[in-house]
Structure 1
Amino acid sequence: MEGKISFGNKRNYEDFKKQIPGSVLPLFDSIREFCFSLGDKVIEDVRMHRVVFCKSMTFRWFVDVEPDREGVIIKIQKSRKDPIQIIQIKKDQEISEFTQIIKNAFEEIH
C-alpha cells in the first residue's frame, strides 16, 4: 500500500488508531482497507481527528472518515459542485452496504 502518506502534522495511521475506540477499530480498518483496494492512486492523509482518502496527489478527496463512539462518520465527495454526503455507520453494521457509494465517489472525483 504505497499510498500511505501523512501530510502536515506528520501523523501516521499507527498513531491515529490509538484514539479510535476498540469496538470501532475493526469497522474503521475495514473502511480503510476498502479505500486502498480501489487502486494505486489512493492516498491516505492522516489528520488530527480523521483520515481523508484522496485520489492521487491532486488531493481531490473522496472519503473523509472520522471515528465516533458508536461507529464511523463518513463524508463522501463526488465533485466540488455536488453537496457532500454524510453517512454514519454503526459499529455493528457491515460496510458492504456502503462500498458502492464510496467506489462511485472514487471513480467520479476529478
Structure 2
Amino acid sequence: MDEIISFGTKRDYNDFKKQIPSSVLPLFDSVRKFCLSLGENVVEDIRMHRVVFGKSMTFRWFVDVEPEREGIIIKIQKSRKEIPQILQIKTGQEITELKEIIKNAFETIN
C-alpha cells in the first residue's frame, strides 16, 4: 500500500505563494528551501494561511511559517511538551541564526 490517502483538495506551494506579498516571497522561499534541505524525511503541509514542516509521516511538526505584509511569523517546536518559540522575521533581516534554531528543532523533535 504505497498510496497516501488525501481528504479534500490539497493545495500546492505554487498556489499558496500567490498570496505571499512579492517583497516577502524571497524570504519565505529561503526558509522553505532550508527546511526541505534538512532531510528526505521532511514533510511539507500547505495549509490555508501557512506552511508547516514536519518530520516523517508521523508528522511531528518542527516549523510553522506564515507570511505577513512585511515578513514572516515562524513558530518553532522542539517537543510536544514545550510551548512553541514564536519569531517575527522582517524582509531583509539576516536569517543565519534562524536557520540554526530550525536545524536544532529538526534534530531534536521525535
Partner residue in 2 for 1:74: 74
Shift of 1:9: 4.2
| Alignment partner of 1:35 is 2:22 | no
Partner residue in 1 for 2:98: 98
Matches within 5 A, 1:3-82: 9-82=9-82
2:96 maps to amino acid: S
Q: Distance in 1 between matches of 2:101 and 2:8?
A: 28
| Cα-to-partner distance string for 1:36-75 (whole Å, 9 max, x where unaligned) | 1111010100000000000000010000000001100000
User: How many percent identity over aligned positions?
Assistant: 75
Partner residue in 1 for 2:3: none
Shift of 1:94: 2.2
Shift of 1:97: 2.0
Q: Distance in 2 between matches of 1:95 and 1:28?
A: 11
Q: Distance in 1 between matches of 2:8 and 2:43?
A: 14
Q: 1:106 to 1:7 in 2, by over 3 A?
A: farther
Q: Distance in 2 between matches of 1:8 and 1:75?
A: 26
- Report which of the two structures shows the higher radius of gyration computed on alpha carbons: 2
Taking only aligned residues, the RMSD between alpha carbons, in angstroms, comes to 1.4
> What is the number of equivalent residue pairs in this alignment?
105
Unaligned residue ranges in structure 2 (runs of 5+): 1-5
- Residues 50, 66 of structure 1: 8 Å contact kept: yes
Unaligned residue ranges in structure 1 (runs of 5+): 1-5
Greater than 4 Å deviation, 4+ residue runs? 6-9
TM-score w.r.t. structure 2 length?
A: 0.91
| Cα-to-partner distance string for 1:58-109 (whole Å, 9 max, x where unaligned) | 0100000000011000000000111110000101112212111000100011
- Residues 7, 46 of structure 1: 8 Å contact kept: no
